Amino acid sequence: MERDYPLEKVRNFGIIAHIDAGKTTTTERVLFYTGVSHKIGEVHEGETVTDWMEQERERGITITSAAVTCFWTPTYVPAETLAKAGAQHPLKHRFNIIDTPGHIDFTVEVKRSLRVLDGAVVVFDGVAGVEPQSETNWRYADEAKVPRICFVNKLDRTGASFEHSYATILDRLSKKAVRVQIPIGLEEKFEGVVDLLTMKAFYFEGDMGNKVVEKEIPENLKADAVKYHSELVEKIVETDEVMMTEYLEGMIPDIDVLKKTLRKAVISNEIFPVFAGSALKNKGVQLVLDAVVDYLPAPTDIPPIPGIDPNDEKPIVRNASDAEPFAALAFKVATDPFVGQLIFFRVYSGTLSAGSYVYNPRTRNKERIGRILRMHANDREEVKKVFAGEIAAAVGLKDTITSDTLCDEDNAIILDRIVFPEPVISLRIEPKTKADQEKMGMALNRLAQEDPTFKVSTDQETGETIIAGMGELHLEIIVDRMKREFTVEANVGKPQVAYRETISGTSEAEGKYIKQSGGRGNYGHVKIKVKPMEVLTKEELEDLPKNTKRSPGFEFINSIKGGVIPQEYIAPCEKGFKEGLDRGVLAGFKMVNVSVDLWDGSYHEVDSNEMAFKIAASMAIQDACRRASPVILEPMMKVEVVTPDKFMGDVTGNLSSKRALIEGMEDRGMNKVIRAIVPLSEMFGYMTGLRSMTEGRASFTMEFFRYDIVPNNVAETIIAARK
C-alpha cells in the first residue's frame, strides 16, 4: 500500500484560543468548506462535529481536543500555477486539524496537542483582542517552537476593532506579528477583507459564503492598504539579507518571491501573519485555509525530531520520511464507547501497518497494534497503514500512556516527554453504595490514564480517596463523566487547595536507624545537608556535575567518597528522601524545591540493608527540613475581571479583601478590565459574589500563575486546621 498523499501536501495544525474566541465555530466552517460536513453545526445549538461529548454540548465549551482529517484545494490560485499542476492532483492538500479547548482547566489538551502539531492557527476575539488564555497558549506554542498564523475573528460584533486586537498582539504576545489583511468595514458593516500582499479585495458571497469573489480595493481603504502593504513588504524582506540589499537599491520583489520568503519566515518563527474575518458570518475562513497551505510547514519543513537512544542515552534524530525507522509519540489516551481504549499518536518517521508490533522503550515491551483509525472527531475510518507525518489512533495497546514513544525495536528511540502542570485543587470523594465502590476505583483509574493533570490518591491517615485537578470545572466534569460513562454515583467533599511546603534556609542532620533483634539486625546511617533548590537555566542544567540528579521539585547530590556508604544503598537513600519530603513537616503537605546533599554516613558489614538506609534517610530529611525554616506555599492565580465601569470600585475593593495584588486596569470597549494575582484559596465560589455585586454583568477568568509563600497568620490557620 502506497502513500496516497505526498508529504509536502500534508499540514498538521491546531486551532487554539482563549475561551469564547470562536475556535470551534471556525473549525466547523473549515469542515464545511472542505466538504467533511454538509451542514454547519453551531455551538449555541449544540450540534457541532468536534464538540461531541454531552458535557461539551450542554455547556457550549470544548473539553477534549478533537482530531479531524480533511482535504483542501486553495481558493485563490493564479491560472499559471493551475496549468503547472496539471490534471493529476490539482493542488489538493490533506489537513489534520486538532480543535483544542480554551478553558484554563483543560489547558493540558492544548499543551499536548501543540507538542505533536507542526503549526497553529491562533484565534482572537475581535472585541477583546489578547486574553489571559491566549497568552498561556502562546507561551506553550513558544515552548514547542510552533509556527503560527493569527486570525482576528468576530469582526462583525458590536465594539469590534481589528486595530485594537492587532495592537494587543504586538503589545502582549510578539512584536513579530504583521498584518497580511485588513477588514472592509466593521461591526454590522463588515463585508470582506483586503489582502495586503496581492492588493486585492475579497468578498464572500453565495450559500454560506462559499464563493470567494475578488474585486478592486474600495476607495476609502486605498491609502491604508498602500501604507500597510509597504510595511508588510519591509517586514518580509528584513528576514532575507540578499532581498534586503536589493530592496534598499529600489528593486521590489514579485508576489511569488515575497510569498516564498514569508513562508520561510513563518516556519522559522520570525513572522506571525495576522488575518481578519468572522467565522460565524462565514467571512474570511477560506483565505485562512489558503494561508495554512502557503505559510504553515509540511512535516518535511520542520527540523528532524530529537530523541535519545535508550541503550546508551546518546542523542539521535529521526527525519520525516517513510524510509526511516518507525517512531511515533502517543499524545492522548481516550476511551471510546464502541472500540474501547484509543491511543492517539503522531508518526514522526517510518510507517506502521495494522497487525504489526511496536516497541515501547518505557515498559521495554512489545505490543501489537490491532487496528488503526483515522479520526473525524468521534467518527472513525479504519486504515491499513499510516505514514510519516500523520496523526492517527490505535486500538489494542494495553500498557501505553500519554507521552510514551512507540518505535521499531531494532532502532529504538525515546522522544522527549510532554511535561504537564501539577494539579492545584483537590477534593475528597466517596462512593454512595457498596456496589459503586469497586466501579469507582476502575472509573477513576481510567480517567486518570486519559488525563495526566488529573491525579487520584489515598489519604494515609483517613483512608479517603482524594482527586486532584486543574480547577473546579475540571473536577466537576470528571465527576459528571464518572456518573454518565461509568454509572458511578459518588458524594463529593468541598474543594481543597493543593498547598505545598518548602524550606527557606539551610541545615544539616543525621539519620540513624539501628535495631538489634538477635541474629541479623538493621543498620543505616546517613549525614545530609539541605538547602533550597536553585532555579537553573537550560545551559546550567546541561552542565550539572555527574553526581547531581534533578527531578521537578527535588535535587539529589551524592557526595559519598571512598565507599563509606556502599553503592547499592544510594538508591534506597534517595527513595527515603523522597518519601520523607512527601510527608511534609509543617502540615503534612508535599515538600518541593529541596536540594539534598548526602555527604557522609556509615554501614555495618552484616546488619546493613536497603530498608534500614531508606528509613534512616527519611528520618534525616524530616529532621533537616524542620530546622531549615520551613514555609507553606499556596497556588496564586492570574485573574482577569471584565466589569461595567460603574462597578469597578466594588470589584477592586472586593479583590483587595481577598489578598489580591492588583496589577493593572484598562478599558475594553464600554467595560473595564482588572488584572490581579489572587490566592486560589480566596477564589472558591467567586462567580456568585461577582454576579451579585455587578447585577450579573461582570465575568472573570483565572489561570494558575505560580506558588508563593503564605503569610504567617494564614499559615497558622492552615496548620491548625490540618491538626
Q: Give the DSSP letter string of 580-624.
A: HHHH-SSSSPPB-SEEEEEEEEE--TTT--HHHHHHHHHHHHHHH
> What's the whole-number mean pLDDT along residues 154-171?
90
Domains of the chain and CATH, by start:
7-217+271-295 (3.40.50.300), 305-415 (2.40.30.10), 425-493 (3.30.70.870), 501-628 (3.30.230.10), 633-722 (3.30.70.240)
Q: In the Cβ-directed half-sphere of 271, how many Cα atoms lie within 13 Å?
A: 27
Beta 554-558 vs 548-551: how paired, if at all?
Answer: antiparallel
> What's the whole-number mean pLDDT along residues 214-226?
90
Query: In this structure, what are the phi and psi dihedrals at residue 179, rounded to the nearest 5 degrees?
Result: -70, 130
Cell of 54: 454531552
Residue 712 marked ligand-binding = no
Dist. CA 382–CA 471, nearest whole Å? 36
Beta 425-431 vs 496-497: how paired, if at all?
Answer: antiparallel
pLDDT at 438 over 90: no
Percent of the chain with pLDDT over 90: 32
- Which of 170, 168, 186, 188 is CA-nearest to residue 178? 170
Residue 156 marked ligand-binding = yes
Which pLDDT score is estimated for 566? 93
Residue 20 marked ligand-binding = yes
Residue 604 marked ligand-binding = no
Residue 24 marked ligand-binding = yes
> What's the whole-number mean pLDDT along residues 612-625?
95
Helix (H) or strand (E) holding 337: none
pLDDT at 87 over 50: no
pLDDT at 612 over 50: yes
> What's the whole-number mean pLDDT along residues 394-404?
84
pLDDT at 46 over 50: no
Which pLDDT score is estimated for 213? 87
Residue 51 marked ligand-binding = no
Dist. CA 673–CA 626, nearest whole Å? 43
- Which of 148, 173, 150, 175 is CA-nearest to residue 162? 150
DSSP letter string over 479-510?
A: HHHHHHHH---EEE---EE--EEEESS-EEEE
Q: Does this model's pTM top 0.85?
A: no
Which pLDDT score is estimated for 88? 46
Residue 101 marked ligand-binding = yes
Higher per-residue pLDDT: 685 or 679? 679
pLDDT at 424 over 80: no
> What's the whole-number mean pLDDT along residues 632-642?
90
Q: Round the average pLDDT of the chain to a whole number and report it.
A: 84
- Which of 90, 142, 133 is CA-nearest to residue 115? 142
Which pLDDT score is estimated for 611? 93
- Side chain identity at 57, as an amino acid letter? R
Helix/strand/coil percentages in the chain, nearest 5: 35, 30, 35
Which pLDDT score is estimated for 14? 85
Residue 155 marked ligand-binding = yes
Higher per-residue pLDDT: 481 or 132? 481
> What's the whole-number mean pLDDT along residues 559-567?
91
Dist. CA 449–CA 286, nearest whole Å? 38
The predicted-structure confidence for 582-605, as pLDDT tens digits, reads as follows 988 998 899 999 999 999 999 998
- Which of 626, 652, 629, 628 is CA-nearest to residue 641? 652
pLDDT at 194 over 70: yes
Dist. CA 665–CA 657, nearest whole Å? 17
> What's the whole-number mean pLDDT along residues 8-36?
79
pLDDT at 607 over 60: yes
Which pLDDT score is estimated for 556? 95
Long-range Cβ contact pairs of 166-174 (< 8 A, separation 24 or more): 166/129, 166/274, 167/129, 168/124, 168/129, 168/130, 169/124, 169/129, 169/130, 169/272, 169/274, 171/130, 172/130, 172/135, 173/130, 173/134, 173/135, 173/138, 173/272, 174/138, 174/272
Higher per-residue pLDDT: 333 or 410? 410
The predicted-structure confidence for 270-329, as pLDDT tens digits, reads as follows 999 999 998 888 888 889 989 999 999 998 888 888 899 888 888 899 998 888 999 999
Report residue 48 CA to chain centroid gap. Answer: 23
Residue 102 marked ligand-binding = yes
Helix (H) or strand (E) holding 466: strand 465-469
DSSP letter string over 616-682?
A: HHHHHHHHHHHTS-EEEEEEEEEEEEEEEGGGHHHHHHHHHTTT-EEEEEEEETTEEEEEEEEEGGG
> What's the whole-number mean pLDDT along residues 635-647?
88
Residue 17 marked ligand-binding = yes
Question: Around Cβ 73, how many Cβ atoms within 10 Å?
Answer: 17
The predicted-structure confidence for 486-519, as pLDDT tens digits, reads as follows 888 888 888 888 899 999 999 999 999 998 777 7
pLDDT at 247 over 50: yes
- Side chain identity at 320, as an amino acid letter? A
Dist. CA 616–CA 576, nearest whole Å? 8
Q: Is 568 exposed, middle or buried (0-12, 13-18, 19+ CB in 10 A)?
A: exposed
Which pLDDT score is estimated for 63? 43
Per-residue pLDDT band for 396 (boundaries 50, 70, 90) equals confident
pLDDT at 383 over 70: yes
| CB distance 269 to 261 below 8 Å | no
Q: In the Cβ-directed half-sphere of 72, how many Cα atoms lie within 13 Å?
A: 31
Which pLDDT score is estimated for 105? 55
Cell of 146: 510552533
- What b/e string do you get for 474-483 counting C-beta neighbours within 10 Å, with b at 16 or more? bbbbbbebbe
Which pLDDT score is estimated for 477? 81
Residue 370 marked ligand-binding = no
Dist. CA 536–CA 329, nearest whole Å? 28
CA distances from 468 to 438, 595, 639 (A): 20, 26, 21
Instruction: Give me the residue label for grid cell 509536502.
Output: 8
Residue 23 marked ligand-binding = yes
pLDDT at 429 over 70: yes
Report residue 50 CA to chain centroid gap. Answer: 18
Which pLDDT score is estimated for 108? 67
Residue 284 marked ligand-binding = no
| CB distance 622 to 583 below 8 Å | yes
Which pLDDT score is estimated for 704? 81
Which pLDDT score is estimated for 642? 85
Per-residue pLDDT band for 572 (boundaries 50, 70, 90) equals very high
pLDDT at 35 over 90: no
